A = this chain, B = another copy of it.
Amino acid sequence: MSKFVRHFFVCTFDRPEGGRGSCGTSGSAAILSRMQTALFARPDLWPTVAVTGTGCMGLCSVGPAICVYPEGIWYTGVSAADAQLIIDEHLLGGRVVEKLVYHWPES
């Protein structure tokens, strides 16, 4: 079993400008960096919390997209302010930021 109680995956996939957009061109690299820096400063959390950059997760048009497992929480359209809230509340505090949660359409 995973040792991580919350594992953040931040899409950093780049698509060319002018199409349907991408997390990479929406600022996700800076978000990933801020999250990893915040976690780096909290070694007490390293055994149970992780942050990983990813390729495309399919939410290009509403990026930047982040998912958090095993909770199965998704955040999309993450602004710099959103990112700080997610860092303070969810990454470091373990509390889901409900107002930012993305709900997948029924498929």
Grouping DSSP codes into helix (H, G, I), strand (E, B) and loop, the A interface class, with mixed when no group exceeds half, is loop
Interface bits A1-23 vs B (CB < 8 Å: 1, else 0): 11110010100100000000000
Oligomeric state, in copies = 2
CA separation between A107 and B50, bound complex, in Å? 14
**Which residue of chain B has the shortest Cβ distance to A70 in the bound complex?**
B70
Contact B70 A3 (CB under 8 A): no
Question: Is A69 engaged at the interface, CB distance under 8 Å to the other chain?
Answer: yes
Contact A2 B69 (CB under 8 A): yes
Find residues 47-99 in chain A having any chain B CB closer than 8 Å to their own CB: 47, 50, 52-58, 67, 69-74
Contacts of A73 in B (CB 8 A): 1-2
**Which residue of chain B has the shortest Cβ distance to A56 in the bound complex?**
B52
**Which residue of chain B has the shortest Cβ distance to A32 in the bound complex?**
B55
Q: Which residues of A contact B (CB under 8 A)?
A: 1-4, 7, 9, 12, 46-47, 50, 52-58, 67, 69-74, 103-104, 107
